[in-house]
């Protein structure tokens, strides 16, 4: 019964979405208040209905109702409860439901917090959101219905893919979707503004917090996914340039560009057309990512052809929204007036450079991801584009970006002083180089050029500190004055500095882990020892263990440094009983930001087992940096000028005119 | 200990090239999930070459994995094949050519520059040029807006006249 209620709620949601798609827009054209307010109530209702439906599906998973096909295919009665819950979105139908839930969640947020938006803009934004919801509701109901029943109901489920039976599945997809789908709000704002034909600095100010919120979640989601792959897949890699990864990375890159261009638009009314285009492109890449991941086209062009309904459907959604938005853009954009004028050397100029590099990087990843697909479709020829290609091209593009990041905040708006920026930064550059040298020295060896890579990481970190240093006026004013001035800075200034600092931390982690990391592959018998990263690992032997829905054979290692035992670690090979699928559960020990990663291979004749041990110095900086970036996003979001939905709460009477930016 | 420590091999010691290599070519995995101790070559220099080549070859039965990362049988056979060719005195280029002759271009994770991949390889540089060009044009045309705001001689004369009144 509950399942049928869930299904019915989804149908009702479709009806609601259709109403919200049309009515508020008509209201906005006619100036009919009643129709426009329908957008708010409608969006809230829509969110409620989708939540109800999602809740019904979750309930089916929680009680292991195997009469529901989706539950039977992806769950097992013995599975730990947490995986039963997270298993809801560990499959195609469920993940589309999560997509929809988050989309309507964002609509509801706009409905609630957008009280100060101009009525027409709000009505249009929510209507565009409802268009997207309508498309995906149709998609779920027609091609990916999670509520299909089985008769007779099987007694036991087929279990969730063992790789997904991890806390990572509970956190990673929701965060990723919050980012991915969160960009829909920027998209809807862009389309609504194009329909309205009016875009100004206020628009940028409204759209920026939403972009920032989505970007923050996406940053966390990607980092989380990367760490999950790192510890789950068992070979110590953390980024594979897999098409699925690229699918989430492209919106992130474009979103990062959008964040920066919206800044220019808010402060200086420049780059309007570009910002709108970028908002459209960012969400288009989210949609493209959904298509790539969900259609199966990535595994093989042929897999796509065998069951094309879903793929074709999303492709149609893709064509409709991206094509429609670009057509609207082409029609309306020329009517937008150009904004503020600036010199090439200026804060705006720096942000334009940021946008150029990030956009080209996005395009490069996009080309690399789609090229084999397109080539095979056109010529039937199969080629691969893998990690070596992306590392080279993307790396080449990132290098200049990383070098110039600290200069951006040092330049004034309108017309900057490059020489002055140099003068303010050279001490910090020197410090970064010294820190790189010290770091290199502490690691005993490695390629000399690594010093520059390390220095680049430190440069990012110190550059961010330099930004705050000069804003406070340290070294010029009295210390107490500088501290007070620093405390008086808007939170968004801190957010930017923290974000850039995090970028530096990540770069440092990447360079350190890749250049100073070591790898040891060795056959070990109980009692044998092996050295890695200055630690000595002794293999104590294997033991069999039984988990709730798996059996495992795990090895115990004692870790010593200088003859003193400092830690011990288990590393296991698991076999999930329902699917007869083996997984590797690596043993990971953290020492500060560095990690020792122990993974078991095959058992050899004669009682030995292949053990692979990696020493990964400062690898945690990679994800730690991402967390810092995320924190920067939150700090920026808490800025009172940007607080979600509160752009003009203080000056409600003065709406929609806004006071000058700073 | 048969395995020993393996560090990424550095190819051309050109300054920028080396920096880039250090930074990014090895940016991803230091993997060898699957390399077994009994496959490893005795000569560390040869083994390093084998590893570098393996990282560029796709495991044909896996999804987006190099033979260096994969524990599939086919990947193992290829790893052994690569090591055989290297021990027989093949250059890296010859080894890769041989593997491609057997498995086709699909096996290369780093596609070769050719008629079919020219667009792929040229895209980043080309887009950067186009983007930079567009920005320069954009900036160049901007002053014209300023000159629109500036006064023509006639207008200036009129203002002077008005001011004199």
pLDDT digits (tens, 9 = 90+) for A339-389: 677 888 888 889 999 999 999 999 999 999 999 989 988 888 888 898 899
Q: What is the mean pLDDT of residues B150-164?
A: 77
Interchain contact, B32 vs A389, CB within 8 Å: no
Q: Which residues contact B84 (CB under 8 A, 6 or more apart)?
A: none
pLDDT score, position A308? 74
What does the mean pLDDT of chain A come to?
88
Q: Which residues contact A543 (CB under 8 A, 6 or more apart)?
A: A553, A554, A555, A556
Residues on chain A touching B127 (C-beta within 8 angstroms): 359-360, 363-364
Residues on chain A touching B123 (C-beta within 8 angstroms): 363-364, 367
Select from A299, A452, A518 the Cβ nearest to the Cβ of B63. Answer: A299
User: A69: buried, middle or exposed (CB in 10 Å: 19+, 13-18, 0-12)?
Assistant: middle
- For tokens 């090439």, the residue is A344
Instruction: Give me the sign of the Cα torsion angle A468, A463, A421, A349.
Output: negative
Interchain contact, A520 vs B26, CB within 8 Å: no
Cite the DSSP H helix spans in A380-445: 387-404, 418-442
Asked if residue A330 lies in contact with residue A321, where contact means CB atoms within 8 angstroms, the answer is no
- pLDDT tens for each residue of A39-55: 999 999 999 999 999 99
Can you tell me the distance from the alpha carbon of A484 to that of A454, in angstroms, rounded to the nearest whole number? 33
Can you tell me the distance from the alpha carbon of A190 to that of A198, in angstroms, rounded to the nearest whole number? 10
Instruction: Give the model's confidence band at A305: pLDDT under 50 very low, under 70 low, under 90 confident, else very high.
Output: low
Q: How close does chain B come to A103, measured CA to CA in Å?
A: 30
Q: Is A330 on the interface with B (CB under 8 A)?
A: no
pLDDT score, position A40? 94
- For tokens 């309507």, the residue is A104
Interchain contact, B36 vs A395, CB within 8 Å: no
Select from A235, A385, A452 the Cβ nearest to the Cβ of B69. Answer: A235
Question: Hey, of B27, B105, B130, which one would you mutate to test binding to chain A, going by the most A CBs within 10 A of its CB?
Answer: B27
User: Taking a contact as any Cβ pair under 8 Å apart, which residues of chain A between 202 and 261 contact chain B?
Assistant: 233-243
Q: Describe the strand order of the beta sheet including A587-591 as a list of residue ranges.
A: A518-524, A609-616, A594-603, A587-591
Count of C-beta atoms within a 10 Å radius of residue A400: 12
Query: Which fold is adopted by the domain A1-165?
Result: 1.20.120
The residue with greater pLDDT, A476 or A6, is A6
Facing residues of A573 across strands? A553, A584
Select from B2, B29, B111 the Cβ nearest to the Cβ of A523. Answer: B2
- pLDDT tens for each residue of A462-477: 999 999 999 888 888 8
Q: What is the mean pLDDT of residues A76-92?
A: 90
pLDDT score, position B27? 39
Q: How close does chain A come to B162, measured CA to CA in Å?
A: 30
Asked if residue A213 lies in contact with residue A164, where contact means CB atoms within 8 angstroms, the answer is no
Q: How close does chain B come to A239, measured CA to CA in Å?
A: 6
Instruction: Locate the chain A residue with the closest alpha carbon to B118.
Output: A371
φ, ψ dihedrals at A178, nearest 5°: -55, -35
pLDDT over threshold 70, residue B13 = no
Paired tokens of A255: 């979103």
Distances (CA, A) of A652 to A109, A245, A575, A649: 19, 43, 62, 5
Interchain contact, A240 vs B26, CB within 8 Å: no
Count of C-beta atoms within a 10 Å radius of residue A349: 22
pLDDT score, position A601? 84
Residues on chain B touching A238 (C-beta within 8 angstroms): 28-29
Q: Compute the residue count for chain B.
A: 165
Can you tell me the distance from the alpha carbon of A656 to that of A644, in angstroms, rounded to the nearest whole number? 16
Paired tokens of A180: 């991915």
Range with lowest mean pLDDT among A543-547, A641-645, B80-84: A641-645
- pLDDT tens for each residue of B31-49: 334 577 777 787 888 888 8
Q: How close does chain B come to A601, measured CA to CA in Å?
A: 8
Instruction: Give the model's confidence band at A7: pLDDT under 50 very low, under 70 low, under 90 confident, else very high.
Output: very high
Residues on chain A touching B105 (C-beta within 8 angstroms): 381-384
Q: Is A301 on the interface with B (CB under 8 A)?
A: no
Which residue ranges make up each domain of chain A?
Answer: 1-165, 417-516+621-628, 518-616
Asked if residue B116 lies in contact with residue A379, where contact means CB atoms within 8 angstroms, the answer is yes
Q: Is A165 helix (H, G, I), strand (E, B) or coil?
A: coil
Q: Tell me if the bond preceding B142 is cis, omega within 30° of 0.
A: no
Interchain contact, A447 vs B146, CB within 8 Å: no
Can you tell me the distance from the alpha carbon of A53 to that of A60, in angstroms, rounded to the nearest whole number? 11
CB pairs under 8 A between A and B: 199
Can you tell me the distance from the alpha carbon of B100 to that of B57, in angstroms, rounded to the nearest whole number? 9
Residues on chain A touching B116 (C-beta within 8 angstroms): 375, 379, 381, 383
pLDDT over threshold 60, residue A438 = yes
pLDDT score, position A304? 55
pLDDT score, position A301? 55
Rg of chain B over Cα atoms, rounded to whole angstroms, equals: 29
Select from A239, A449, A521 the Cβ nearest to the Cβ of B18. Answer: A449
Can you tell me the distance from the alpha carbon of A182 to that of A246, in angstroms, rounded to the nearest whole number? 18
Q: What is the mean pLDDT of residues B64-72?
A: 80
Q: pTM for the complete prediction?
A: 0.88
Interchain contact, A511 vs B66, CB within 8 Å: no
The residue with greater pLDDT, B61 or B51, is B51
pLDDT score, position A657? 39
Interchain contact, B109 vs A387, CB within 8 Å: yes
Paired tokens of A598: 């122990």
Paired tokens of B63: 């999804």
Question: Hey, of A270, A343, A357, A360, which one would you mutate to test binding to chain B, going by the most B CBs within 10 A of its CB?
Answer: A360
Rg of chain A over Cα atoms, rounded to whole angstroms, equals: 27
Can you tell me the distance from the alpha carbon of A503 to that of A402, in angstroms, rounded to the nearest whole number? 9
pLDDT over threshold 80, residue B17 = no
- For tokens 């020329």, the residue is A334
Instruction: Give the model's confidence band at A648: pLDDT under 50 very low, under 70 low, under 90 confident, else very high.
Output: very low
Facing residues of A616 across strands? A595
pLDDT over threshold 50, residue A645 = no
Residues on chain A touching B111 (C-beta within 8 angstroms): 383-385, 389
pLDDT over threshold 60, residue B2 = no
Interchain contact, B111 vs A389, CB within 8 Å: yes
pLDDT over threshold 90, residue A240 = no
pLDDT score, position A281? 95
Output the CA angle A103-A105-A110, nearest 5 degrees.
100
Paired tokens of A418: 């490059």
Interchain contact, B23 vs A511, CB within 8 Å: yes
Nearest to A566 by CA among A541, A527, A543, A592: A592
Instruction: Give the model's confidence band at B142: pLDDT under 50 very low, under 70 low, under 90 confident, else very high.
Output: low
Interchain contact, B30 vs A517, CB within 8 Å: yes
Q: Is A112 on the interface with B (CB under 8 A)?
A: no
Q: What is the mean pLDDT of residues A7-11?
A: 97
Question: Hey, of B23, B71, B144, which one would you mutate to test binding to chain A, going by the most A CBs within 10 A of its CB?
Answer: B23
φ, ψ dihedrals at A26, nearest 5°: -60, -45
Count of C-beta atoms within a 10 Å radius of residue A421: 21
pLDDT score, position A344? 82
pLDDT score, position B12? 35
Can you tell me the distance from the alpha carbon of A477 to that of A273, in angstroms, rounded to the nearest whole number? 41
The residue with greater pLDDT, A259 or B37, is A259
One-character DSSP codes across A98-164: HHHHHHHHHHHHHHHHGGGS-HHHHHHHHHHHHHHHHHHHHHHHHH--TT-B-SSPPSS-----GGG
Q: Which residues contact A236 (CB under 8 A, 6 or more apart)?
A: A230, A519, A586, A597, A599, A612, A614, A616, B29, B30, B31, B33
Q: Compute the residue count for chain A.
A: 662
Antiparallel, parallel or unpaired: β A594-603 and A587-591? antiparallel
Residues on chain A touching B128 (C-beta within 8 angstroms): 356-357, 360, 397
Can you tell me the distance from the alpha carbon of A391 to that of A395, in angstroms, rounded to the nearest whole number? 5
The residue with greater pLDDT, A69 or B8, is A69
Instruction: Give the model's confidence band at A191: pLDDT under 50 very low, under 70 low, under 90 confident, else very high.
Output: very high
pLDDT over threshold 90, residue A627 = yes
Residues on chain A touching B34 (C-beta within 8 angstroms): 235, 601
- pLDDT tens for each residue of B71-120: 778 888 889 899 999 999 889 999 999 999 998 888 998 898 888 899 99
Interchain contact, A389 vs B2, CB within 8 Å: no
Select from A235, A341, A344 the Cβ nearest to the Cβ of B146. Answer: A341
Instruction: Give the model's confidence band at A661: pLDDT under 50 very low, under 70 low, under 90 confident, else very high.
Output: very low
Q: Is A520 on the interface with B (CB under 8 A)?
A: yes
Asked if residue A191 lies in contact with residue A128, where contact means CB atoms within 8 angstroms, the answer is yes
Q: What is the DSSP letter of A88?
A: G
φ, ψ dihedrals at A506, nearest 5°: -60, -45
pLDDT score, position B20? 47
pLDDT score, position B24? 45
Show the domains of chain B with their CATH numbers: 15-107 (1.10.8.640), 118-164 (no CATH)
pLDDT over threshold 90, residue B157 = no
Q: Is A93 helix (H, G, I), strand (E, B) or coil?
A: helix
pLDDT score, position A662? 36
pLDDT score, position B165? 67
Can you tell me the distance from the alpha carbon of A424 to that of A407, in angstroms, rounded to the nearest whole number? 9
Nearest to A56 by CA among A41, A43, A47, A68: A68
Select from A240, A371, A453 the Cβ nearest to the Cβ of B28. Answer: A240
Residues on chain A touching B110 (C-beta within 8 angstroms): 386, 388-389, 392
Reported ipTM: the value is 0.82
Instruction: Locate the chain A residue with the closest alpha carbon to B125.
Output: A360
Instruction: Locate the chain A residue with the closest alpha carbon to B4.
Output: A520
Residues on chain B touching A379 (C-beta within 8 angstroms): 116
């Amino acid at each position: 019964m509950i399942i049928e209620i869930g299904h019915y709620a989804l149908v009702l949601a479709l009806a609601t979405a259709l109403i919200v798609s049309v009515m508020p827009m008509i209201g906005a054209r006619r100036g009919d208040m009643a129709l426009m307010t329908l957008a708010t109530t409608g969006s809230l209702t829509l969110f409620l209905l989708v939540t109800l439906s999602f809740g019904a599906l979750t309930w089916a998973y929680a009680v292991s109702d195997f009469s529901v096909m989706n539950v039977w295919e992806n769950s097992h009665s013995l599975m730990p409860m947490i995986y039963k819950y997270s298993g809801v979105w560990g499959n195609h139908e469920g993940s589309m439901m999560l997509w929809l839930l988050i989309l309507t969640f964002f609509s509801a947020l706009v409905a609630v917090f957008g009280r100060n938006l101009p009525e027409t803009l709000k009505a249009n934004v929510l209507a565009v959101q409802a268009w997207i919801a309508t498309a995906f509701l149709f998609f779920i109901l027609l091609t990916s219905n999670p509520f299909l029943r089985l008769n007779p109901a099987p007694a036991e489920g087929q279990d969730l893919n063992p790789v997904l039976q991890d806390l990572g599945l509970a956190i990673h997809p929701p965060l990723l979707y919050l980012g991915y789908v969160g960009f829909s709000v920027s998209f809807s704002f862009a389309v609504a503004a194009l329909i309205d034909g009016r875009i100004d600095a206020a628009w940028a100010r409204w759209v920026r917090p939403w972009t920032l919120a989505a970007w923050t979640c996406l940053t966390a989601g990607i980092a989380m996914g990367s760490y999950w792959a790192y510890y789950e897949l068992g070979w110590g890699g953390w980024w594979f340039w897999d098409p699925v990864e690229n699918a989430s990375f492209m919106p992130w890159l474009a979103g990062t560009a959008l964040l920066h261009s919206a800044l220019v638009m808010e402060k200086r009314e420049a780059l309007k057309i570009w910002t709108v285009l970028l908002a459209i492109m960012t969400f288009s890449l989210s949609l493209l990512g959904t298509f790539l991941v969900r259609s199966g086209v990535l595994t093989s062009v042929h897999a796509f052809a065998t069951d094309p309904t879903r793929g074709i459907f999303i492709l149609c959604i893709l064509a409709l929204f991206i094509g429609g938005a670009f057509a609207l853009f082409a029609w309306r954009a020329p009517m937008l007036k150009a904004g503020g004028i600036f010199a090439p050397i200026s804060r705006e100029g720096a942000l334009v450079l940021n946008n150029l590099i990030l956009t080209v990087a996005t395009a490069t990843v996009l080309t690399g991801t789609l090229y084999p697909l397109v080539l095979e479709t056109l010529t039937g020829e199969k080629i691969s584009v893998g990690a070596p290609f992306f590392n080279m091209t993307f790396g080449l593009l990132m290098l200049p970006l990383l070098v110039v990041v600290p200069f951006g905040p040092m330049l004034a708006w309108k017309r900057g002083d490059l020489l002055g920026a140099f003068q303010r930064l050279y001490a910090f550059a020197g410090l970064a180089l010294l820190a790189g040298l010290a770091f290199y020295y502490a690691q005993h060896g490695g390629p000399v050029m690594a010093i520059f890579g390390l220095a680049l990481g430190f440069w990012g970190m110190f550059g961010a500190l330099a930004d705050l240093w000069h804003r406070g006026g340290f070294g010029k004013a009295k210390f107490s004055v500088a501290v007070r001035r620093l405390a008086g800075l808007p939170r968004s200034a801190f957010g930017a500095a923290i974000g850039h600092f995090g970028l530096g931390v990540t770069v440092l982690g990447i360079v350190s882990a890749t250049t100073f990391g070591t790898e040891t592959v060795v056959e070990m018998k109980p009692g044998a020892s092996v050295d890695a990263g200055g630690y000595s690992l002794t293999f104590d032997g294997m033991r069999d263990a039984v988990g709730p829905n798996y059996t495992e054979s795990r090895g115990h290692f004692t870790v010593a440094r200088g003859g003193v035992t400092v830690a011990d670690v288990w590393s296991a090979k698991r076999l999930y009983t329902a699917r007869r699928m083996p997984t590797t559960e690596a043993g990971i020990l953290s020492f500060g930001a560095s990690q020792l990663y122990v993974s078991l291979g095959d058992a050899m004749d004669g009682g030995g087992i292949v053990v692979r041990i990696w020493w990964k110095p400062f690898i945690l900086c990679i994800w730690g940096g991402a967390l810092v970036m995320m924190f920067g996003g939150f700090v920026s979001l808490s800025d009172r000028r940007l607080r979600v939905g509160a752009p003009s709460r203080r000056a409600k009477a003065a709406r929609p005119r806004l006071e000058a930016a700073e | 200990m048969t395995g020993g420590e393996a560090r990424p091999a550095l190819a051309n010691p050109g300054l920028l090239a080396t920096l880039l290599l250090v930074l990014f070519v090895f940016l991803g995995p230091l993997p060898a999930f699957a390399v077994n101790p009994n496959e490893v070559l005795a000569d560390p220099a040869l083994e390093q070459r084998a590893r570098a080549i393996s990282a560029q070859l796709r495991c044909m039965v896996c999804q987006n994995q190099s033979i260096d990362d994969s524990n599939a049988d086919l990947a193992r056979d290829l790893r052994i094949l690569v090591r055989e060719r290297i021990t027989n005195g093949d250059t890296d280029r010859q080894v890769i050519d041989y593997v491609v002759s057997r498995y086709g271009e699909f096996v290369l994770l780093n596609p070769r520059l050719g008629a079919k991949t020219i667009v792929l390889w040229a895209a980043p540089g080309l887009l950067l040029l186009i983007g930079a060009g567009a920005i320069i044009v954009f900036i160049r045309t901007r002053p014209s807006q300023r000159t629109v705001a500036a006064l023509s001689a006639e207008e200036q004369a009129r203002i002077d006249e008005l001011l004199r009144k």
